[in-house]
Amino acid sequence: MIVGNGEIAEGAASDIDAADMVVRFNDCRSFGAGGSRTDIVAVCNTGRPARAMLGSAEWRKSPSVAAASEIWSVRDPRKFAALRAPLALSHPELNDFCDDYTDQFTAFCRATGKRHVVIDQSVHERVDEALSAHEPGSYVVPSSGLVVIGALLLLYPDDDIAITGFSHTGWDGHPFAAEKRLVDFYVSLGRLRRMASSTPILSSQGA
């Protein structure tokens, strides 16, 4: 079960908590109304979101982060080191976007007895390739949610993978319209199952 930070399907909390694995994102705004089971917290490990999480005692001690046995960093440092120079030209306002905090997440995991996983840049590149068939236009990077979906489809190709909390809206550097089309394509193939999002209990931002 992959639980984004958008609208959660009505009555989904019990189904989420009954799943074999639950992945949440960043500050885990889905926690509570969207169930409490949390096995993995997938984090944006570069830029301002990473700095904010690592600098927050509230995040470090939150029930969702405490419950998780693994932290997944969705941004391979090698990929984002390579992106720094071209982004400096195309998006100079994103001057800290590629600042890497992976080592700090590693240290946090060591201190709290969690496993730290860095999603390989090849997953990011496979997601970019998959998006290319869905008219993404110009974008900076795929969303963390889509990178995690890509990673889990590779790791568990025969499993029942359900998603909720994906509104496919948010920062304009992510190609959210194309991401929705790609996710719908995976659903049509039976590779993903989308729980209907009908109860606006959380922020409308995507994962």
Where residue 190 falls among pLDDT bands split at 50, 70, 90? very high
Mean pLDDT across 126-155 = 98
Which residue do the tokens 């982004």 mark?
Answer: 87
Residue 205 has a pLDDT of 36
Write down the mean pLDDT value for the chain: 93
- What is the pTM (predicted TM-score) of this model? 0.92
Where residue 130 falls among pLDDT bands split at 50, 70, 90? very high
